[in-house]
């Protein structure tokens, strides 16, 4: 990725507002170099040029998630959905945040929305299955608890 990084960086130097160069360079910094600060700079630069760039909001949310900032990540994913309500990865990301916080029924609604916009996403379907599994386990535990109370 060093060559790609070099050329994207050069393109940004020539035209700092170039959305594609910033997006690609940001993803290299984020995913491969774990240089979140540089990646965030790229995504914020994009948003200063195009405030409705939903992919930048989403990538910022992923960085915040990686940095264990779930509240900020949730807000960034919501901003992505405000910019593009059909962006399945943002629906799924919020679902994951909710699932991890044991808000299973809410998570299920987000996963359902995600799979509506991307019906081939296997990971989302697995999360949906996990939600139903967790809800079933909860129902079983609840019925056992109720049976103990009745006896």
The CA distance from 8 to 34, in Å, is: 17
Residue 139 pLDDT: 62
pTM given for the model: 0.88
Q: Please, which contacts does 129-138 make with residues 24 or more away whose CB atoms are closer than 8 Å?
A: 130/99, 131/99, 131/104, 131/105, 131/107, 132/108, 134/104, 135/104, 135/105, 135/108, 138/104
Predicted pLDDT at 115: 95
pLDDT (mean) for 70-91: 98
Q: Which residues of 59-91 are buried (b: 16+ CB within 10 A; e: fewer)?
A: bbbbbbbeeeebeebbebbebbbebbeebbbbb
> Does pLDDT of 147 surpass 70?
no
Distances (CA, A) of 111 to 53, 62, 88, 94, 138: 22, 17, 9, 8, 19
**pLDDT at position 148:** 60
How many other β-carbons are positioned within 10 Å of the β-carbon of residue 21?
22
pLDDT tens per residue across span 46-70: 999 999 999 999 999 999 999 999 9
135 vs 26, higher pLDDT? 26
Predicted local distance difference test score (pLDDT) of residue 86: 98
Average of per-residue pLDDT across 78-107? 97
Q: How do residues 17-33 score in pLDDT, each as one tens digit?
A: 999 999 999 999 999 99
Does the pLDDT at position 122 exceed 90? yes
> Tell me, what's the pLDDT at 1?
81
Higher-pLDDT residue of 145 and 94 is: 94
């Amino acid at each position: 990725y060093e060559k790609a990084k070099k050329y994207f960086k050069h393109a940004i130097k020539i035209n700092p507002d170039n959305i594609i160069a910033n997006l690609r360079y940001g993803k290299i910094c984020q995913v491969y170099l774990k240089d979140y600060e540089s990646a965030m700079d790229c995504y914020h630069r994009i948003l200063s040029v195009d405030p409705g760039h939903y992919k930048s909001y989403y990538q910022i949310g992923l960085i915040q998630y990686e940095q264990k900032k779930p509240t900020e990540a949730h807000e960034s994913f919501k901003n992505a959905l405000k910019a593009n309500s059909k962006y399945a990865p943002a629906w799924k990301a919020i679902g994951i945040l909710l699932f991890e916080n044991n808000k299973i029924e809410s998570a299920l609604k987000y996963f359902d929305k995600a799979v509506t916009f991307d019906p081939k996403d296997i990971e989302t379907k697995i999360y949906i299955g996990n939600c139903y599994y967790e809800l079933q386990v909860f129902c079983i535990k609840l019925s056992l608890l109720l049976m103990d109370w009745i006896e």
